[in-house]
Structure 1
C-alpha cells in the first residue's frame, strides 16, 4: 500500500507552488534554477514527497526567500507519528 505523505509535505509543497507562480516561474524553470529534476519539483508541490534539507535550501534560494519561509505554518502535529 502506498504511503500517504504528511500534511507537512502538502503544506510546504503549496508554499513552493505559491511562491513559484507569484514569480511567473514554471516548474521546469525552477528545476533549472535549482538543479532539481522537474518531476521531483512536481512531486514536492503536490505533497507526494518530502524533500531533504539540501533541496529545501536550494528551492528557497531559487525563489529568493529564506528556507523558513517555506516552513511557515508547519508544526509537529503535521508529521506522521506512527513512524
Structure 2
C-alpha cells in the first residue's frame, strides 16, 4: 500500500467522518444502517477506498443527507 493518499478520496472520507460525528454515530452504527462493514467505513474515512456510486447512496441514506452533500467539499480543477 502506498503512503500517498488520493486527495479526492481523502476529502470524501473526511466529509463522511464529519457528518457521522455530527450525528454522534459510531463507524459500526453507520455501517449497520448503510448495510456495509465497519472496516469498510473506516477505510472510506481514511481515504483508502474508491467508493462506488451505490455505496455513496447507501452512506448518504444512512446519514440522512442527499448524496451530493458528501461531495460538496471536493473540488477538482483540471486544465
TM over 0.5, shorter chain: yes
1:48, CA displacement in angstroms? 1.0
1:42, CA displacement in angstroms? 0.1
Q: What aligned pairs does 1:1-16 form with structure 2 within 5 A after superposition?
A: 2=2, 4-16=4-16
TM-score (norm 1): 0.84
Q: Which runs of 5+ in 1 are unaligned?
A: 79-83
TM-score (norm 2): 0.88
2 CA distance for matches of 1:28 and 1:63?
A: 13
Match of 1:30 in 2: 30
Corresponding residue pairs, total: 78
Runs of at least 4 residues off by over 3 Å: 1-5
1 CA distance for matches of 2:77 and 2:5?
A: 13
